[in-house]
Every structure is written in structure tokens, then in C-alpha cells.
Structure 1
């Protein structure tokens, strides 16, 4: 029987956050509930000083691709994915394509075409300033993220902008689907019992199959699926829209790409919000170690949210419930029909994937309870958008591997698995296995340049979330420090993407996007 693949079981879902640890500062962080303390008045000894918190004005869109109406398709896709637009908010959605070089260093490789999704209030003028959305490859793609965000934005923001989602490399119009099915399944299914060097070596062989097939299919463009390419694509979009500066909201690894764009093109940055970037100073295996620690902390938040109710379906000890379920699935996978089965490794993938979306935690609880009772359907629904047909697995793998330089051998991965299983009992072994999955990939490069190239950019709002399963809390602070003008906002919540989920964060971002003012000092927002 073939282990879990969920390939062919369900249609994939069609289409928020790293914590920010505030570092040494002249002033302490400010704890707020939606209001910032005013900046200290400038000294008048040498005449009026430039306002350091003022952001550039938003520019009207002057040119651009021809968008065709796709409102019905977009709203239907959101409803099918379980995230319909709020009642009472009417939106108009347009779709277009952006043509960019597949690899700017290899003109002979030809073009790539990225999907664009424009979301506005009905009847909005075509030259309204653009707020470009760059999504996370592991959660929502940019197109869905743009529509979802527009549905939740404060009216003051939606009345000011047209929201444009730009697909990341490997998603949407440029969907990456190149891995052999059996090799993909093997990497997805690897359970916590496969942690010795021999097991890691077998995973390495399956990873080689992925690289070989993807190289053949992509004709030399495999390394273009990386944050640096998305940074270049942002600059191409800015030029296409005919603006000197671009206003951007980016989340997750989309924030990593946008941070690279700000560093490489500081003069192109307008009002920029980075929500949940990773730590740009880390490479492997330190990067995976930090993100795995963050995922374990996020699971603790998930468990605490469940047990806060006397009717927690996972009982008084959710971690113990999941441990027991994983143990049982390690011994006997749960049949899912058509020769497929949900394995221990697949179940842990499902848990980790939904930790990024607290709104779906009740769904995860129900899926785990059903699996405990022998029904795999809930976990299959969770896993389908990631590993199923038209899923995100290939794009996530390519982006992660291309954005790191260090490769880990099976022996080294086995050693790390032995250490991490003690520190990260749920996700440690899987984290070590993911390092082996990148073993055969060409060596990538850093997510962003060391710092801004030229004059510093305008102030950049950098948001971190305390329990983000994707990135450590240090990610936002170190991203802000690397950009030199970053202004940190630390939310004591959970999930990937803090905006606009809390009034405090929403207030800070609205001041930046609408009023053009960045916070004058670090901000701490309550849960």
C-alpha cells in the first residue's frame, strides 16, 4: 500500500508571523492598545529638522497590465477554501499577468509569467495608489492573500488603495509541479521513527529524484524559485505600474523577499510593512533549529487555546493526545482509500501547517479527534493544499532550499535528529529530515543583501508575532536592524501574519499606510 499522498483525493484549496524581540535601544519598548506615544519634538537649535517618522507619499498608478474581471471565480474560490468574504463588503477582482525574466542572469532561458490579482471597491478609479501584497509560499498564495486581506482591511485603507497580489515564483500562474509523485510522497510521509543515518540516506535518494526531474522539466531555471527572484519581480511590477515608489504589505517568506527588495532598491520603497519575516542572519542548520523551536512554542499556544475551554476535544493534555496518535500511526498508517494512507509524518505535517492559521485551529482539533477515531478525512483535507494535486509542496521546498547555502549530510542530519527529538519532541525529527531534502539542491544564497545598497530606505514597519510557527521571534528585530530604518512592532499573539487581526497592530499599520507615519519607537501589542 502506498503511504499517504492525498494526491488525487481532494482538490487543493485554491488559492498570518514571526516574533520580534526588541533589542538594545535608547528607549524601552512601548506597550500600547492602539495608540502610540507621540515622538519627542525635534530640537530647534539648528532650525527645523526633517521628520524621521514621515513616510513617502503614495503615488497613483500610471500604467499597468490590462486586468480582466474575475470577481466570481475569486470569491467562489475563497468560499470553497472555507474563507469567504465578510458579508456586507463588496469587492471587484481583476486578473492579469506580469512577464518577467525567468532568470535575470540567463536571458537565454526566456520569460516567466506571474499572476496578478487586483482587488478594489466597486467603481474605484483605476489610478488609485497600489498596495502590493506578497504572500507566504507555505500558507496563502499572494492572489488569495490579496483578496482575503482586502476583505478584512479597515475601510480607510481600502478607500485609499487598490490591492494588488503578485504571485510568488512557483505559485498561481507559475505553479511549480515537477517532483515525481512517489518521491514527493516519501518526503511527506517520513515519520519520527526514521531518524538514523540509513533512513536519512534513503530520504536523500528520494530528494535526488526530485532535483533530477525538476531540473529536466524546468530547463535550468530551478534556482530561480527563491526570495531574491521575488525581490526582482517586485521591482519589475513597480516599473510596470509607472510609479517611482511602491507601497507593499508582505507576510511570511513574502516578507523575506520584500526585505531583500527594500535592501536592493531602497529608493523604490514607499510605505512598506513586513509582517513576520524570518531571521536573515541564520543559515542551516541554525535556521531550521530556530524555526522548529518556534513551531513547538506555537503548538503550546494551540494546546493552551484548546484547554482554555472545558470542552477541549483533545482532552486536558493536547500534546499527549497528539503524541499518542503519532505513535499509533507510526505502527499502522490510517487507510484513506484508493491505496493511500495517512502516516505519522503526514499527520505532523498537517499539525504544523495549521499552526500558522489560528482561525483554523478548531478545524485541526476536529481532524485530530476524527483521526484518533479512525477517520482520516479531516487530516486529508488539511494536507491536500500542501501535498495534493496543485499543492504547495514543490514551491515550498524549492524556495527553502534555494534560500540557503549550507547542505547537511545524512549522518549530520541523524545526529541533529537525535538532539532535536529531545528538545522538540513533536517536530524535531521532521526538521532534521527536511535538511536532507535540500541536500541535492544547488547551493543557494542569502535571502537579502547585507544591508541597503545606497541611501537608507524610508522607515519600514516590521511586525513580529510571539508564537509564529514559521520563524523565531528574533526574525523581525534582525530584519529591522539589517534595513537600518526598521521600526519593530511586537505582537504577543500566535500565527503567521498579525495584520489586521488585532486593534493595536491595525492602528500602527493604518497610521503608516494612510497617514504616512511610522512608529517613533518600538511597540509591544498585547494578545
Structure 2
């Protein structure tokens, strides 16, 4: 075991991809930060939040497709300029701002209760990023972005989105990204390095009950260490907390209605907020929510089926090109690579290796971002030829010193009420290995990894109680590796006034990646009108 001196709370073991990730991540950290390491203090309402501004009085809508008007921000957090840092981070992550798009970016913090039911546990501090055009008025209406825990922090997601938004939308709104619990400013980094590595590196051969029991023990070590470090707030890393944090942000911004864009599991949290606060709903877009009626194992099964289908799209897109680096049958190439790595992990120097399990997790993570598919193709082809450097770069954001692993694990486990025994997980692995050849066993391992976690509970959107909410746009992508399109359909149904938009594309997050979806969302954000009927957008 060795200690990473640049990140004192992380302990790393040798002979796992996780150790190598640290070595490469050191060179990346300076360019990958969302904002400055010391954000300005924010004198916003935190652990002693006063009552939020009253919601607009409910009036029978004269036009059922009309959305609430926008309102200026009244007060709110203090933002210090961090434009250069954020733009450098976007460039390092491969998502630079297009030429001709000028952005002004500020970074700040929002202080919220760590656990609203336990005021004695003190506050949590969430990173905020405000993105506008240069010289924009400070009181522009806010469009708040809540991102997916499996991709980037919401702060970075806001900057990435602002770089792509149509000019008219960026001129109308200040885009504010709020980090989720465990990301960005509130980075969750509590797992013992060897336990984290064991879960990341578990390969397709670790599928019987004995192997699942060993993974359960590793996860138990994570829960024990995290519980001690977090002083009882371990269960606060969940979608329900993010829904509460949105209401805190509404209060801080001084607005009666909040305009929101939720992406991936960020959309799940926003849907929960809508159900709780229908009178505070402004212009809201849920982009890729999951099925609110599912809990594990059905939820994991549905997501795994979606990931397999997304990989088929990835393989087809590669094979259709003139020079696919994975050959005429990319699935067979990747399957062969995983079989070899299961027998012998790929050495990468300094005694470290890349395992089959880590490779599976890197593939699944990048499937949600079609813009990075060429990078994934090249990394897999290079690994097939014996060079793991590309895979290491893909794994750095997952298991590196600023990685998402701890937060993603905590959120997934806290959002589920169901716990699987090693025997049950082994049975699922046997079934899913045949039905989902690439991701099935890893999905079953994820089930058992939640075994020691306190039983949480998912955000389950229901028809808002009391006054109905205004129309809410719900976007579903046909080949989203995170969730099947039926998740958007079910969310729209349960919200009662959801307006469904289906996109026959791939990846997590449809807006603003296609002209059809972009036109519909822009009409909602700019003109305040939702589609009267469900819409299907072509690929």
C-alpha cells in the first residue's frame, strides 16, 4: 500500500488501475478544475434558511400550454470571476468553447443544511457556477442546471451547456450550475483506496456467491470509513437532498418560480422538486429522467439493457465509418479484449495494471457522451494492441483523486430501498451475463456493493399535490445508456402535466444536441410555450 502525498485523504494500493490513475491525474488536475480552489465566501441563507419567497398565486391557466413568465434574480450568492480557470478546464476535458462565443464565468458557494432532519450536523457547501455573456446584467433570470452524477459536476455542466446554447437563450438567462452532493466543492472522498479499487477492478469472472461476498466485505469497509469521516451525514448524498438544495437555491436567488434544466439523474432530482413544490415551478426541462416507479433490481436491469443497446449504437457508428479502429465487428473486438484482460491484466508500468472490470466501467461511462466515442474507440483499439494509456485517461475522472466513484456509489445506494445478498447478486449475474454480455456481471456487482449501505429511498415523482404544476418538458433519448426512453414516458405520466419529447438519438442529454429538440426547448425557455402533444424528433 502506498500513500498519495498530493491528496492526503486518499490511500492507494498497487497493482490496480486506480493507482495508475493517480499518476496520470496529477498532470491533469490543474487543467480540469471547474473553478478556483478557493471560491468566494457566500453570505447566502444556509443552515438557518428563512422562508423562501412565496410562490406565485395559482390561477387557472387561460392557455394550458403557457409556461410562467421569467423573473429577475433578486440578490443571491456572491460570484468571484473564474473565467480563465473554467475555460481551461473545459479545454482540458475536450469540450472547449466554440470560436466566437464569449463567456463570463463566476464561481461561488451555496451553504445548505447537511441534513435537514439533523441540524446538529452542521452545513454542507455546494459549488455554484454562473455563466453569462460579458457585461450581462446581474439580475438576469436564472436557468439552473443540475447535472448527472455519472458525467460531470453540475458546475462544469453549466459551463459546457452555456458554450452550446443558442445566442438568444444565453442572452435571456444567466446559467447557474449547482453541484450535487459529493461533487465539486462538496467532493466525496472517503473510501479506502484498496476497497475502491476492488470494486472498480472486479471483472466478469467475479460472479459466484463467494466472489460477491468478498465484494460485499469491500463495500462494508467503504461504508465504515465514510460513516466515520462524515459524522452521520452519509445518507445525505441522494437525489432527495438535491431536490431540497434546489429549494434552498430558489430562496437564495429571491425568486418565486425557478427555471430548471435537469440532466440524467439530475432530472430525477428536479422531478422530485417539482412534485414537492408545484407552485414554485417555472420553465422546467427534464432531460433523460429514469423510471420513477422502479427500484432495484429492476432499475439496474433496465439501465443495463439500455447500456447494451447504446453499445450497439457505438459499435454500429464505428463500423459504418471508413476507418473504424475496432475493425468490422467492434463488439467482438471489445469482447476479446475483456477476455484477455480477465486472464491477465494489462501492465502499464510501475507495477500497475488495467483490469477487465475497470475497462468495462470506462466503456459504460463514456457511452453517455457520443462526442467522445472516437476517443473511446481509439483507447480500446490501443489497449487491444497493448497500450493502456488511453484507457487510463478515461478512468481518471472515475477513480482518480478528483474522481466521481465515491459520490456515484453513495447516490446510487442511497436512492434505493432494496439490498441484495451475495447469493441474490450471484443469481442475477448468472442471468444477466447471458442477456447483457458486456455489462451484466458488473451490474450485478453494483447491486451487492450497495448491500452494507443504510437503506435509502428513491425520489419518486408523483402527481403534484394541491395546485397542479405548469407544463414540464420531459425529454427522452432512445439510446440513452443510463436509462431506457420509457423512463421519460413514465415521468411525464406521473407528473401529470409532463409534455413528452422523444429523440431517436444516443447518449445522455438531448438538449441542445439536435435541431428538433433544441427548437422545442428554446420555444419553452424563450416564448414560454410547451408542446400541446407528444413530439418525436428524428436522430
TM-score by length of 1: 0.93
SS at match of 1:64: coil
- 2:206 counterpart of 1:191: no
2:23 corresponds to which residue? Answer: 9
SS at match of 2:386: coil
Structure 2 counterpart of 1:356, from 359, 368, 378: 368
Alignment of 1:167-316 (within 5 A): 167-316=179-328
User: What displacement does 1:65 show?
Assistant: 1.1
* Distance in structure 1 (CA, Å) of the matches to 2:139 and 2:477: 34
* Distance in structure 2 (CA, Å) of the matches to 1:126 and 1:370: 48
* Distance in structure 2 (CA, Å) of the matches to 1:254 and 1:191: 29
Where does structure 2 lack aligned partners over 5 or more consecutive residues?
A: 1-13, 35-59
User: What displacement does 1:87 show?
Assistant: 0.8
User: Cα deviation per residue 1:227-285 (whole Å; 9 max; x = unaligned)?
Assistant: 00000000000010000001001100100000000001111110000000011100110
User: What displacement does 1:339 show?
Assistant: 2.4
SS at match of 1:10: helix
SS at match of 2:100: coil
* Distance in structure 1 (CA, Å) of the matches to 2:128 and 2:363: 30
* Distance in structure 2 (CA, Å) of the matches to 1:339 and 1:260: 46
Structure 2 counterpart of 1:497, from 502, 506, 509: 509
1:83 corresponds to which residue? Answer: 95
* Distance in structure 2 (CA, Å) of the matches to 1:282 and 1:4: 33
Indicate conservation of the 8 Å contact 1:71/1:92, yes or no.
yes
User: What displacement does 1:102 show?
Assistant: 0.1
1:74 corresponds to which residue? Answer: 86
* Distance in structure 2 (CA, Å) of the matches to 1:515 and 1:185: 49
1:457 corresponds to which residue? Answer: 469
* Distance in structure 2 (CA, Å) of the matches to 1:319 and 1:145: 30
User: What displacement does 1:363 show?
Assistant: 0.2
SS at match of 1:470: coil
Indicate conservation of the 8 Å contact 2:271/2:461, yes or no.
no
2:161 corresponds to which residue? Answer: 149
* Distance in structure 2 (CA, Å) of the matches to 1:321 and 1:410: 31
* Distance in structure 2 (CA, Å) of the matches to 1:403 and 1:381: 29
Alignment of 1:365-444 (within 5 A): 365-444=377-456
* Distance in structure 2 (CA, Å) of the matches to 1:9 and 1:301: 33
SS at match of 2:17: coil
Indicate conservation of the 8 Å contact 1:464/1:475, yes or no.
yes
Indicate conservation of the 8 Å contact 2:33/2:85, yes or no.
no
User: What displacement does 1:139 show?
Assistant: 0.4
**Count of residues paired in the alignment:** 495
SS at match of 2:15: coil
User: What displacement does 1:312 show?
Assistant: 1.0
* Distance in structure 1 (CA, Å) of the matches to 2:478 and 2:33: 28
1:166 corresponds to which residue? Answer: 178
- 2:491 counterpart of 1:483: no
User: Cα deviation per residue 1:391-422 (whole Å; 9 max; x = unaligned)?
Assistant: 00000000000000000000000000000011
User: What displacement does 1:366 show?
Assistant: 0.4
- 2:73 counterpart of 1:61: yes
TM-score by length of 2: 0.91
Structure 2 counterpart of 1:138, from 114, 131, 150: 150
Structure 1 counterpart of 2:350, from 338, 345, 353: 338
User: What displacement does 1:9 show?
Assistant: 2.1
* Distance in structure 2 (CA, Å) of the matches to 1:453 and 1:338: 59
SS at match of 1:489: strand
Change (3 A) 1:154 1:449: closer
Indicate conservation of the 8 Å contact 1:228/1:448, yes or no.
no
Indicate conservation of the 8 Å contact 1:14/1:81, yes or no.
no
Where does structure 1 lack aligned partners over 5 or more consecutive residues?
A: 16-47
Indicate conservation of the 8 Å contact 2:243/2:272, yes or no.
yes
SS at match of 2:130: strand
User: Cα deviation per residue 1:57-116 (whole Å; 9 max; x = unaligned)?
Assistant: 011001101111110111011111111111111000001110000000000000000011
Indicate conservation of the 8 Å contact 1:114/1:168, yes or no.
yes
1:446 corresponds to which residue? Answer: 458
2:105 corresponds to which residue? Answer: 93
* Distance in structure 2 (CA, Å) of the matches to 1:333 and 1:324: 13
* Distance in structure 2 (CA, Å) of the matches to 1:336 and 1:268: 53
Indicate conservation of the 8 Å contact 1:248/1:270, yes or no.
yes
SS at match of 2:377: helix
